[in-house]
Amino acid sequence: MAFGLHSYPAVYRSKFDNGVWTGGFEEKPHKTPEEEAKLSEAELEKLENSRNFYDDMPLVGYTTQYGMSCFEGLKALPQKDGGIALFRPDQNAKRFYKSMKGLYMPPFPEEEFVSACVEIVKRNAALGFKPVYKKEWEQDSFMTADSIYIRPFSYSEGGVGVALSKKPWVVIITTPVSAYFSDGTSGAVITGRIRAAPKGTGWIKAASNYTISALAKHEAAEAGYMECIYLDAVHRKYVEEGSSCNVFFYLKSGELVTPELGDTILPGITRASIIELARDKNVTVSERKISIDEVFSEAKECFVSGTAAGATPIESLTYEGKTVVFNDRKTGGLTADIRDTIKGIQYGTLPDKKGWMVKAV
């Protein structure tokens, strides 16, 4: 379900101090990828762990004590015609800037974000740490394809009182990833928990939001579901999103609906991209409130969207003991079309008409 951390050696780090960001790249301990592949599990774990440390970063601080941190997740994908390209890093840079401002941190410059993300992929590739495009991925719509997950995040200075992070670091690490959701059921369940409330931090990719997500997702998995879906905190009636993904419903009327943004929903870049792609296909797309009752009576397809999830079909949704099944538990036509379009653009099998891909290698 989640994916493991196998940090690549090249990392980036910048620190805000005296009103300026100062940063650069570092190369953590490593052998060649071929040599590392021959290590025992314990040896590899020791080596990879050594890449996950900075001995000059405080253990006790606002991030570790109170979750005062925000992060991003974006991907670099091996291309059909060779090379590696990032998907819309400028959008992640924008959101990270807003997240940091939302947490009253000094925001990280967008251009530096993009160039650091591109450069870290380049540096790791030069050391041999990179996935290689495989033709067989085309057979299963890239469901099992490899990519590089890029994780930028903020990390606070030391401190113990509940306070803001005024002199944070921004660190960027990368790790290879494959399929996010495991095989088996793709059923979802409405969780009784509340992810985000009005006036809270739900619209920010804030570390503190994900404790509840992890609890709800664990409970869903224990009950046999792949994903949990949240209802709004006030009315307990409108569908909001998944644990770390947005949600779409394709209605019998031909309308594709995704909940409208607000302060309780994370503005996904995959979500925004799907809205654009669906409109290009002449699908009527609405960003509006959708109640759980409307989903039960009107939806014929459902999928969740996110950097890790792509567009992943949801076969059923369970709420208060009742279950609605979408499209006989098979991937629906529009869902498959959207999934294939976005994956095709990302892996370079379809033309990138919108200039979304940024080549790193």
Least CB distance to ligand PLP at residue 246 (A): 5
Q: Is 270 in the site for ligand PLP (CB under 6 A)?
A: yes
Q: Which is nearer to ligand PLP, 176 or 268 (CB)?
A: 268
Q: Is 30 in the site for ligand PLP (CB under 6 A)?
A: no
Binding to ligand PLP (CB under 6 A): which residues in 303-342? 305-307
Least CB distance to ligand PLP at residue 322 (A): 25
Q: Is 220 in the site for ligand PLP (CB under 6 A)?
A: no
| DSSP-derived 3-state class of residue 30 | coil
Q: Which stretch binds ligand PLP (CB under 6 A): 129-137, 299-307, 314-322, 353-361?
A: 299-307
Give the separation between CA 71 and CA 68, rounded to whole angstroms.
10
Binding to ligand PLP (CB under 6 A): which residues in 123-162? none
Structure tokens at 291: 């109640």
Region of 128 (left: φ > 0; alpha: ψ -120 to 50; beta: rest) is: left
Among 201, 246, 258, 327, binds ligand PLP (CB under 6 A): 246
Least CB distance to ligand PLP at residue 88 (A): 9
Q: Is 271 in the site for ligand PLP (CB under 6 A)?
A: yes
Q: For residue 324, what are the CA distances in angstroms to 24, 292, 311, 336?
A: 51, 11, 20, 20
String of DSSP letters for 256-291: EEEPPPSTTS---HHHHHHHHHHHHTT-EEEES--B
Among 51, 122, 205, 343, binds ligand PLP (CB under 6 A): 205
Give the separation between CA 144 and CA 3, rounded to whole angstroms.
13
Give the chain's count of helices (H) and strands (E): 9, 17
Q: Which stretch binds ligand PLP (CB under 6 A): 77-85, 131-139, 265-273, 283-291?
A: 265-273
> Do the Cβ atoms of 124 and 172 come closer than 8 Å?
no
Q: Is 232 in the site for ligand PLP (CB under 6 A)?
A: no
The CB density around residue 101, as the number of other CB atoms within 10 Å, is 14
Q: Is 266 in the site for ligand PLP (CB under 6 A)?
A: yes
The contact set with ligand PLP (CB under 6 A) reads 73, 205, 241, 244-246, 266, 268-271, 305-307
